[in-house]
Amino acid sequence: MTESNLPISVTETGVPRRNSPARVAVVQFNPQVGVENRAANLAAVDQRLRAAVKEGANLIVLPELATTGYTFLSREEAFAHSEAVPTGPTVGGWEDFARAHGVYIVGCLPELDGVKLYDTAVLVGPEGFIGKYRKTHLWNEEKLFFTPGDLGYPVFETRLGRIGLLVCWDIWFPETARLVAQQGADIICIPTGWVWTPPPLYDASGTCMAAYLTMTAAHANTVFIATADRIGVERTSGFMGNSLIAGTNGWPIGRIAGPDEDTILYADIDVVSTRTAPIWNQLNDLPRDRRVDLYDQMLGYRGGQALPR
- What is the spatial distance between Cα 250 and Cα 214, in angstroms, rounded to a whole number? 8
Instruction: Considering only the C-alpha atoms of the chain, give the largest distance between any 2 of them, rounded to a whole number of Å.
Output: 62
SS3 call for 175: helix
Q: How far apart, in whole angstroms, are the C-alpha atoms of residue 82 and residue 95?
A: 18
- DSSP 8-class letter at 65: T
- β-pairing, 187-191 with 162-165? parallel
Instruction: Determine the Cα–Cα distance for residues 195 and 40; give it in Å rounded to an integer.
Output: 22
Cα radius of gyration (the chain): 19
Q: What are phi and psi of 145, to 5 degrees?
A: -120, -40
Question: Using CA atoms in the order 195, 199, 205, 210, what is the torsion angle rounded to 10 degrees?
Answer: -40
Q: Provide φ and ψ at 155, rounded to 5°.
A: -120, 130
Active centre residues (catalytic): 64, 135, 168
Q: How many C-beta neighbours within 10 Å does residue 238 have?
A: 14
CA distance 165 to 225: 10
Q: At what angle do helices 38-54 and 89-101 cross, to 10 degrees?
A: 20
Closest among 225, 226, 231, 165 to 193, alpha carbons compared: 231
Compute the distance between CA of residue 95 and CA of residue 107 in angstroms, rounded to an integer: 11
21 cis-preceded (ω within 30 degrees of 0): no
